[in-house]
Amino acid sequence: MALSGDLSDVDIKTLLNLISQTKDTGKLTIKSDSLINVYFKGGHPINADGDKTPVSSMEKVLSLNKGVFEFVKTDSVQESTAALKIEETFSRIDSIRDQWKTMKSQFPNYNVILNLAEAKGEEINLTAEDWSILSLVRVPTTLAELVRQSPYGELKTLTVLSDIFSKKLLTVSLIKDDSLRPEDVVIPVKESGYFAANTPIYGEHNLAFYKRIDNRKDFETICKEMKMSFGEGREILKYLVSQGKVSLRKKTR
């Protein structure tokens, strides 16, 4: 029998500790802003996926406070070569959650543009990780895109970015371009199935956008009906797709 529920009702720490204490073997699937799996063997987390690496995927899980989950027992699971690091990450759940809280307060919105700041002639010491992230901002890029392109997991990427900002090497600006893009010529289609039916939609605008989807209206029409910018609609649509609530059908003329 599967264990399922909503993280708005059960704290992620409580959920993980429950699986650990019952010494179960199986897969925990969490559908939040993205899909993440954690694999347990005898109550020990030994593998995870959904972010860049098994360890960063485990870190991502510890940040979650919304979404639906399902734990299914299995006879066996594949153990990651990083199993010891994953369990060590799990053991530091409180400190890692504090890190996430700090990063989310500094970067509450990923829909912003990062720009290189003007050089001031001061000597600044940069780490290899700083250089790795800065190299992704050759041209202005959004924070969301940088997180996707980063060679590091999300938490480490934000931590490195925080260090770079402290050295005043980057600036932030809002997205101003609101033209319709080729990838916007789509018709949102509501999905069915377990996760689509049980995954909640957070945010008043997200919910309002979802309610206007009738599997016939295109993206442009919905944005105009709601009197919102294409940029805002684009981010809402990305969120709904990531939640498994909708899929996109290319509009044909």
Is 11 within 8 Å of 20 (Cβ atoms)?
no
Task: Kindly report the number of other CB atoms within 10 A of residue 11's CB atom.
Answer: 12
- Please give the radius of gyration of the chain, using alpha carbons only, rounded to the nearest integer: 20
What is the C-alpha to C-alpha distance for residues 146 and 150, in angstroms, rounded to an integer?
A: 6
Among the ranges given (4-13, 81-90, 172-181), the one the predictor scored with the smallest mean pLDDT: 172-181
What is the C-alpha to C-alpha distance for residues 87 and 74, in angstroms, rounded to an integer?
A: 19
The residue whose two tokens read 């995870």 is: 48
What is the C-alpha to C-alpha distance for residues 161 and 238, in angstroms, rounded to an integer?
A: 23
Please give the structure tokens belonging to residue 222: 């919905």
pLDDT at residue 149 in the model: 87
Among the ranges given (13-27, 71-85, 125-139, 210-224), the one the predictor scored with the smallest mean pLDDT: 125-139
Is 14 within 8 Å of 64 (Cβ atoms)?
no
pLDDT at residue 253 in the model: 65
Work out the percent of the chain whose per-residue pLDDT is above 70.
Answer: 96
Helix or strand run (H / E) with residue 233: helix 230-242
CB neighbours of 120 closer than 8 A, spacing ≥ 6? 168
The tens digit of pLDDT for each residue in 159-207 reads: 999 999 999 999 988 776 678 888 999 999 999 988 888 888 876 778 8
pTM: 0.71
Grouping H, G, I as helix, E, B as strand and the rest as coil, residue 241 is helix
**85 has a pLDDT exceeding 70:** yes
What is the C-alpha to C-alpha distance for residues 56 and 53, in angstroms, rounded to an integer?
A: 5
What is the C-alpha to C-alpha distance for residues 245 and 195, in angstroms, rounded to an integer?
A: 8
∠ CA 232-234-48, nearest 5°, is: 115
**189: Cα within 13 Å, side-chain hemisphere:** 9
Task: Kindly report the number of other CB atoms within 10 A of residue 222's CB atom.
Answer: 21
